[in-house]
Homo-oligomer: A and B are copies of this chain.
Amino acid sequence: MTETKQILALNRFDAERARGLDGRLGELVARRQRAFGVSSVLFYEQPLEIARAEGVFMFDASGKPYLDVYNNVPVVGHCHPAVVAAIAQQAGRLNTNTRYLYESLTTYAETLLGTFPAALSNLSMTCTGSEANDIALRIARAWTGGSGFVVTETAYHGNTSLVMEVSPSSYRKGRELPPHIRTIPAPDSYRLAPGEDLGEVFAGHLQRAIDDLEGSGIRFAGLILDTVFSSDGVFADPPGFLARAVERVHRAGGLFIADEVQPGFGRTGDGYWCFGRHGIEPDVVTLGKPMGNGFPMGGVVTRPELLECFCAETGYFNTFAGNPVAVAAGQAVLDTLQREGLIANANSVGGYLRDGLWRLAQSDARIGDVRGAGLFVGLEFIGVDRAPDGALASHVINAMKERGILIGAAGAYGNVLKIRPALCFSQANADQFLTTLQAVLDVG
């Protein structure tokens, strides 16, 4: 149970190949490697130089358009004019910190909190989802007095030292789990045995992990889950399957942290938050990526008594968090989601897209499963006996790129296409994706 699976970095550019790149690209890559060293991570066998982006499209240096089905940060579309105008206007007016009063901050918080269950009435702002999860874990430690966390085997929750502990997908080969962390299998609806109930199976794994922690003398602090299991391979169905696990968490005295950094802000097509799909009420919710459509911002939403418990232990202040420019960007995102009906669009176009993918699957046995909610869709490539086929996913990703579509993969074996375009994705965009995928699969 505590064995950590490694995501195969199939889609990662390999610096060793840099010498084989042609003129400008080769020079750009070499300069970048010099300045950023090993910390430079690039997509694709042939990295992509991107010059601009608009709506659901990104454009490379030569002007070639790419339909962006990968990046979930620009949730209302790349460079959305409403967000750009809000940032530009506010950056020219005031950019300071929250130790001064400015009404826009409170108005934003009120708007955002209005999308949550009433008990989740306090917001604390950060600059990133990682900072938000770092706080969430500390809230759980402070509230429970415990240090034990349970996470899924291929979870990713961010990059601070503390959050990395609960992000086994980022562990390098051979790194062991810290003694206070337990991993459990993702709720793999595709590999469920006949007659099994997904909620029961998942809650059973959780209970054994909690028991194992307590048996080791480690008090259970909580369960942290990406509510759509993004890096585990996208698992959204059946709605409600998480309820039993949350019950077990509370019975064991822990907190349930819903990481909405990837699924949040309407992407799953039914309300703002994916936890709503399961009829559950988290103790702590963390926000990030799409919150400012690319402007760095994140947040923690929780109950006042939990926040008080954390703040009693430590004086927390975050210089950039909640600055007026971030707030302007965040407000523009919420307003645009509303004004353009993007959550409903995510639902309908997401359904249309999944239907199309299922039609592809009918005639292509390599597509084992199509799943997800709204515009967070997973498509699983398999071989014999449902064996994950990460190599095919990698091939498809690079071939799709050649044909002008950007897409990524997830799952412990990197075999699940992760489809999550901006929520203004249209049926025509979906058709382009479906046609291209079919063409790539017909050749490959």
Is B159 within 8 A of A318, CB to CB? yes
Cβ of A384 within 8 Å of any chain B Cβ, yes or no, is no
- Which of A129-137, A232-240, A243-251, A350-358 is near enough to bind chain B? A129-137
The listed residue (B31, B128, B294, B320) touching A96 by CB distance below 8 A is B294
Complex formed: what's the CA distance from A316 to B308 in Å? 31
* Interface of chain A, main secondary structure: mixed
Q: Determine how close the nearest CB of chain B comes to the CB of A77; give it in whole angstroms.
A: 11
Is A41 within 8 A of B98, CB to CB? yes
Q: A38-B307, A121-B34, A128-B131 are in contact. Are A314 and B170 (CB under 8 A)?
A: yes
Cβ of A312 within 8 Å of any chain B Cβ, yes or no, is yes
Complex formed: what's the CA distance from A31 to B25 in Å? 52
Give 5 nearest A-B pairs by CB, closest first: A88-B88, A35-B109, A95-B294, A37-B122, A296-B320
Q: Determine how close the nearest CB of chain B comes to the CB of A286; give it in whole angstroms.
A: 14
The listed residue (B78, B81, B92, B304) touching A95 by CB distance below 8 A is B78
Residue pairs across A and B with Cβ atoms less than 8 A apart, 28 shown, are A28-B106, A32-B101, A37-B124, A37-B304, A39-B122, A39-B316, A42-B100, A50-B100, A53-B96, A58-B94, A73-B96, A73-B97, A74-B95, A84-B88, A88-B91, A91-B294, A91-B295, A127-B128, A127-B131, A127-B320, A137-B161, A160-B160, A160-B161, A160-B162, A288-B319, A289-B319, A294-B325, A295-B325
Q: Determine how close the nearest CB of chain B comes to the CB of A175; give it in whole angstroms.
A: 7
Cβ of A103 within 8 Å of any chain B Cβ, yes or no, is yes
The listed residue (B88, B101, B304, B318) touching A42 by CB distance below 8 A is B101
Q: A87-B91, A296-B320 are in contact. Are A98 and B162 (CB under 8 A)?
A: no
- Residues A248-279 near B (CB distance < 8 A): none
Is A35 within 8 A of B88, CB to CB? no
Is B32 within 8 A of A105, CB to CB? yes
Is B96 within 8 A of A35, CB to CB? no
Cβ of A365 within 8 Å of any chain B Cβ, yes or no, is no
Complex formed: what's the CA distance from A122 to B295 in Å? 25
Cβ of A420 within 8 Å of any chain B Cβ, yes or no, is no
> B-contacting residues of A (Cβ < 8 Å)?
9, 25, 28-29, 31-32, 34-43, 47-53, 58, 71, 73-74, 78-79, 81, 83-84, 87-88, 91-103, 105-106, 109-110, 113, 121-124, 127-131, 134, 137-138, 159-162, 164, 169-172, 175, 288-289, 293-297, 304, 307-308, 311-320, 323, 325-326
In the bound complex, residues from chain B placing their C-beta under 8 Å from that of A315 are 9, 169-172
Is B91 within 8 A of A164, CB to CB? no
Q: Determine how close the nearest CB of chain B comes to the CB of A61; give it in whole angstroms.
A: 8
A25, A38, A113 interface centre (most CB from chain B within 10 Å)? A38
Which partner residue on chain B sits nearest A316 by CB separation? B159
Q: A35-B122, A71-B97, A102-B51 are in contact. Are A159 and B88 (CB under 8 A)?
A: no
Is B289 within 8 A of A101, CB to CB? no
In the bound complex, residues from chain B placing their C-beta under 8 Å from that of A97 are 71, 73
Q: A73-B97, A84-B88, A96-B50 are in contact. Are A39 and B294 (CB under 8 A)?
A: no
The listed residue (B48, B92, B169, B297) touching A100 by CB distance below 8 A is B48
Is A31 within 8 A of B106, CB to CB? yes
In the bound complex, residues from chain B placing their C-beta under 8 Å from that of A102 are 49-51
In the bound complex, residues from chain B placing their C-beta under 8 Å from that of A316 are 39, 159, 170
